[in-house]
Amino acid sequence: MTDAPHLLYQVTDAVARIAINREAQRNALSPKAIRLFHEHLDAAESDTSVRCVLLRGAGTRAFCTGADLGSAIKADGDALPTARSYARLLHRIYTFPKPTVAMVQGYCLAGGMGLMLACDMVLADEKSRFGTPEVNVGLFPMMIGALIFRNVPRKQAMEMILTGRMIEAQEALSMGLVTAVHPTEALPGETMALLSLLAGKSPIGLRLGKEAFAAVENFPFDTAVDSLAEALTRVINTQDAAEGLKAFMEKRAPEFTGT
């Protein structure tokens, strides 16, 4: 395991595990943690043994409670470099070519919501709590708003943003903030089962599919379906697609190579 002060990175069983390692600070994001996130995602993308990525926080008290306000703003008061680095991180996760899963335990607040929402899937325990409390200290959840409105209907999103109230796990599920909620003791096992399932899929098929979906997200319908038809031909022409179809006909598990 690579042990950095603010982030941990480990690859096992085809899964790159990234953990915010600031339990005493409720896994608040420092500028250093954001830089390490970029480095570790680069490593996970280039490592052909990695099939999917897990994001989590150290311990069980918090997934991430947002920016470490004490270190995020420089002495001269210029917060823009850190804000831009965090914005790039959200885009990096949102468009990452391999499946991303967040496992949420405890509090997931402010910038932590951005990390979670940028992932493809989110599994949370029944005791987790979510929120955008920025308004309580005179701030506003700016960059993560781009992700909130891609997951939650506007009225519900604005109520959460403008009041800053805490949201319990089951309400987060009903709003579309998370994929599933599990009992606390079952969450690690359910998360590992999902990651194992994802790791067994075709890497190139998933990458081409994710890239295609990201590219057409804001296209008009006609343009989107035409673009996706072209993307389908690229997937069909991969060796993994040929192997998958052959395995289906032979009633066996496919052996995907990522080509």
Kindly list the domain boundaries of the chain, sorted by start residue: 2-199, 203-249
Half-sphere exposure of 59 (CA within 13 A, CB side): 14
Can you tell me the distance from the alpha carbon of 82 to that of 254, in angstroms, rounded to the nearest whole number?
Answer: 44
Count other C-beta atoms under 10 Å from residue 206's C-beta: 21
Using an 8 Å Cβ cutoff, are 161 and 117 in contact? Answer: no
Residues annotated as catalytic (active site), given as ranges: 134
14 φψ region: left (φ > 0), alpha (ψ -120 to 50), beta (else): left
- Model confidence pLDDT, tens digit, residues 180-193: 999 999 999 999 99
The hierarchical CATH code for the domain 2-199 is 3.90.226.10
pLDDT confidence of residue 251? 94
Token pair recorded at residue 83:
């804000």
- Model confidence pLDDT, tens digit, residues 49-102: 999 999 999 999 999 999 886 665 554 466 888 899 999 999 999 999 999 999
pLDDT confidence of residue 153? 94
Measuring CA to CA, which residue among 185, 202, 203, 66 is closest to residue 134? 66
pLDDT confidence of residue 73? 52
Nearest 5°: CA angle at 122, between 179 and 257? 105
Q: Widest CA span of the chain, in angstroms?
A: 66
Token pair recorded at residue 97:
């070519």
Can you tell me the distance from the alpha carbon of 53 to that of 67, in angstroms, rounded to the nearest whole number?
Answer: 22
pLDDT in tens for each of the 259 residues of the chain?
A: 444 578 999 999 999 999 999 999 999 999 999 999 999 999 999 999 999 999 999 999 999 999 886 665 554 466 888 899 999 999 999 999 999 999 999 999 999 999 999 999 999 999 999 999 999 999 999 999 999 999 999 999 999 999 999 999 999 999 999 999 999 999 999 999 999 999 999 999 999 999 999 999 999 999 999 999 999 999 999 999 999 999 999 999 999 999 9
pLDDT confidence of residue 4? 52
Q: Is the entire prediction scored with pTM above 0.75?
A: yes
What per-residue string of b and e applies to 6-30 under the rule 16 or more CB within 10 Å gives b?
bbbbebeebbbbbbbbbeebbbbbb
